[in-house]
Structures are given as C-alpha cells and as structure tokens.
Amino acid sequence: METPDDLFQRLEQLNDIGASLSNERNLDRLLEKILMAAKTITRADGGTLYLVSDDRQRLHFQIVRTDSLNIAFGGTSGQPVSGKFPDLLLFKPDGEPNTTMVAVDAVIGKKTINIADAYCAEGFDFSGTRKFDERTGYRSQSFLTVPMQNHEGEIIGVLQLINAQAGDGQVEAFTRADQQLAESLASQAAIALTNRQLVAQLEELFESFIKMINSAIDEKSPYTGGHCQRVPELTMMLAEAVNATTEGPLADFQLTEKDRYELRIASLMHDCGKVTTPVHVVDKATKLQTIYDRIHIVDTRFEVLKRDAEVRLWQKIAQGAERVVAENEFATFCQQCDADRDFLRKANVGGERMRDEDIERVKQIGQQYRWRNVDGEDAPFLTENELENLTIRAGTLTGPERQIINHHIVATIKMLEQLPWPKHLKNVPEYAGGHHERMDGKGYPKGLKREEMSWQARMMGISDIFEALTAKDRPYKDGMKLSQALGILENFKKNGHIDPDLHAIFVKSEVYRDYAAQFLGPQQIDC
C-alpha cells in the first residue's frame, strides 16, 4: 500500500515534470516527455500518446512505449510511428461517435476511463489489444485513459497508460491516486503542448511572412530570389561546422537550438531591403540596360551612319566622282561601322574586368563618329551617360547604381530595427545587417571592424560572398568554378575582407563541398 511519503514524492515529481515541460521547445521531445512522465508517476509499463487531428475526425498515434517489450516508436526513438499504427476514427461512417474505442470515448466524453482488466471490460472493443497480445505474448490488463484538455475546453490529445506495476512487479489496477496524478499531469501537459503549438504556429506564420518577402524579391528579380534562399543554407552549413570545431579560436563556440533559429531567421532576412531596390538596377544584365537594353539604339545609329554614307556615295557619283573609288570608300566605312558596332556589343556585356585599351576604344568610337539626332542637330555618337556605362570596368553597374544596390542593406537594417523582436531574436538586425562589412573596417554601411561584429554576422559575410561568386543564375555571368571561387575567397581573407578563422573552418571542414553538391552545376565542381 502506498504511504503518504510515497505520494508526496510523486507529487514532487509532478511539480518537477511541469517545470521541465514548460522549458521544452522541440515538439517531439515535449510529447515524449509527457508520456514518459505519465508512465513514471503512475508506474505504468506501457503507454501511448495520441493527438487529435486538425479536422477533429481522428486520433493520431504520436508516441508509443512498452518497457517490458522494449517497444519505442516516435519521439527521439528514431522509429517513426507513421505507418505502424492506424489512426483511430472519432466517428463511424454513419456519423455516430466511435465510443467502443476507449481513447475515442475519452475524447468524446471528455472523461478519464480507468479499466482494471481490459479482458473483462464491457462496452469497449479490445480486439486489437487481444491480437497484439497474441502476437507478442504480452498481457494487456489495466488501462488508464486520460484526455488532455486545453484552456479553451477543447480536447487536443489523449494519454493512455497500460499495466500499472505493483512493488513486486505484478500488474495491478491504476489507483485513485494514479488517476488524480495523471489527470493533473494531463492538464499541465495540455497547457505546455498548446503553448508549444501556438509558438510553432506563430513561428511558421513568421517564417512564411519572411518567405513571402523573399518571393516578392524573387518576383522582382529571379536572379536575387535564388540568392535569398541559398545564403541561409550556406550560413547554417558554416555555423554547424564552426559548432563542431574543437580546436583553435572557435573551440568554445557553441550554438543552442535558439541560437540556430535566430541565425536562420537573420539569414533569411539578410536582403529583405531589396524590396526597395528598383527592378531595372537589380536586373541590370548589360551596361546599357535601363528598362530596356539601349544597345539597340546604338545599333540604330550605326544604321543611320551607313545610310548617310550611302547618300554621300550617290552624291559624289552624281557630282562626277569615280564610281569605283566612291564605292570602295563606302564599303570600307561600312566595314568599320560593323566592326565598331560588334565591339560595343561585346563591351556592353559586363565582365570581371575591362582592359584599359578597350575603354580607350569605346571613347574613340564615341568621338570619331558624329550623327544628326532627332532634332536635326549634329551630336556625338555616344552620350555621356552611354560612355559612362560602356566603360564600366567590372560588372554592369555605374557608381551611382552600385550605391542604389548597396542601399538595400541600409533599408534592411532600418526595416529590421523597427520590428519588436522577442528576446531570443534580438540579434537578428545585427546578424543580418553586417554581411557587407569588412574585417578591416572598409565595408558598409557602418564601417565596422572585425572585433565590433559577432561571429554570426561574419559567417553571413562569407556565405553572401561565396554564393554570389558561384551563383549560376546571374544575368551577367556564368557560375564560377569552385577552384576559382575558393581562390578569390583566399584573397579576400588576405586583404582583410573576411574573417580568417571562419575562412579556415570553411576550407578545412570542406563546407564548400557540401554546398556545391546541393547548389552548383557539375561543370562548376572542379576540385
């Protein structure tokens, strides 16, 4: 017989369990803790935890445990419940409640059901239990089935405990004290589970909102939309590699689940400010592109030049010039126009670096030709703006356009700092806002130095650069080969652009290989 000291000890266990449940963030572990706690305080050999489906038509098996048979499904067991046990239907095909099932009756009636011996119980269908016993040699006897009711009076789950163990190891009925303790635990568990589900729903809503922002960026530019998805993946790969490091400056760096979540949210939102960037700048595939590619205007001018040259040809012939000579001059001029037009077309495509002699040739073309514009005025062949764009040394952006692009990080920081972040996400603005800073203080927008930045912000800086180098969906370049990208990253480490300790882990742990296997084309992986 249970003594008052035994009962008091179990009450203390119940209090400790309640505190433990309120601190658990992982839903699977929480459900497992609930069932294991219920088994412990009621001395049950086995147990099952069910959750009511969203449509409130069935009970899902979530966790199954039977100690004497060494059965464990769900939770942290590594054995999934799905496919092992069929759902319990709350209603029959005719719409009547399926109350012959004990767990269903507990839900429908919102009541605890305590059965001393399932083989002698009336009104319930234990045929499935009998088949289980026949198959395993087990003897399912005492059952304690407790509904879990949330703060709105809604049943959200069921605890079913099997075979209370007496002190001598024999199976006995669950006592009144067992039932009261289980009901108290079920009430606490329902609160903890509801809170966790609400938090999970809010987190899901929040992440969906973030993805909606990234989708909006994707709609504006498919070239940066992929970037918004890939940088978080690479950032978390690097973070896990750093977390696993046991030597060097980062040996003590450790990430909790909260830390991981915070970093992932920051990396998902690191470019949210791009919603403010004009499309024609984000998607500037060629140097002369605005809303359209102005190279076609330059093409038209060459045709105008050749037309005017043809007019001069016939004027000379009419004035008595030798026809062969005039036609040769005209052909030479047209050939030169075609050559210069082809050159400007190539110059219009942004590359890694434009040669000095090519820049000079663009300027010469702009000076050597004159044409009559739409107002009938004699004008330079290339406008100042066209010259500025066609002589961009690297890429497709002018200085002012690059400032517009760079402003997205200012917009990102401004947007993120306006949000009322909860405590576990308070570092998101700092992590997300630092990925364009440099270790030597020459980055932007704040010119922070290495020691002024968190490790997480520095991780995002490396991930942002490496993704941009290897991206295969940019309009102005092909995806860079892995060896070339690693070489550039090495130079960035040497010139104070990225963190050297993180770079060492990135290379030594071969984070780049894992990333390449998922996101790079086969032709890019050359090392």
In CATH terms, the superfamily for domain 221-272+407-524 is Hypothetical protein af1432 (1.10.3210.10)
d(CA 25, CA 473): 38
Residue 129 and residue 136 in contact, taking contact as beta carbons nearer than 8 Å: no
Domain(s) of CATH 3.30.450.40: residues in the chain:
4-199
Mean pLDDT value across residues 414-442: 94
**pLDDT per residue over 217-237, tens digit each?**
777 776 665 788 899 999 999
pLDDT for 92: 92
> What does the pLDDT read at residue 290?
84
Please report which confidence band the pLDDT of residue 214 belongs to, taking 50, 70 and 90 as the band edges: confident
Average pLDDT value for residue range 355-363: 93
3-state secondary structure 243-303: HCCCCCCCCCCCCCHHHHHHHHHHHHCCCHHHHHCCHHHHCCCECCECCCECHHHHHHHHH
Long-range contacts made by residues 201-204, C-beta under 8 angstroms, separation at least 24?
A: 203/261
The per-residue pLDDT for 222 is: 62
Of 61-65, 186-190, 315-319, 345-349, minimum mean pLDDT range = 186-190
Q: Decide: 88 and 101 in contact? Cβ < 8 Å.
A: yes
Phi, then psi, of 150 in degrees rounded to 5 = -85, -175
What pLDDT, on the 0 to 100 scale, is given for residue 119?
94
Among 31-45, 277-291, 310-324, 361-375, the minimum mean pLDDT is found in 277-291
pLDDT of res. 427: 96
Query: How far is it, in rounded angstroms, from Cα 52 to Cα 88?
Result: 10
Q: What pLDDT does residue 14 have? A: 59
The pTM assigned to this predicted structure is 0.68
The pLDDT of residue 225: 55
Start-end of CATH 1.10.3210.10 domains in the chain: 221-272+407-524
Give 326's pLDDT tier (boundaries 50, 70, 90).
very high
Kindly indicate the confidence band of residue 311, based on its pLDDT and cuts at 50, 70 and 90.
very high
Contact 42, 182 (CB under 8 A): yes
Least confident of 199-208, 278-287, 324-333, 430-439: 278-287
**Architecture of 4-199 per CATH?**
2-Layer Sandwich (3.30)
Q: What are 238-244's contacts with CB under 8 Å, separation 24+?
A: 238/459, 238/462, 238/463, 238/502, 238/505, 238/506, 238/511, 239/263, 239/456, 239/459, 241/505, 241/506, 241/509, 241/511, 242/455, 242/459, 242/502, 242/505, 244/509
Higher pLDDT residue, 369 or 284? Answer: 369
* Phi and psi based region of residue 479 (left: phi greater than 0; alpha: psi -120 to 50; beta: remaining): beta
pLDDT of residue 501: 97
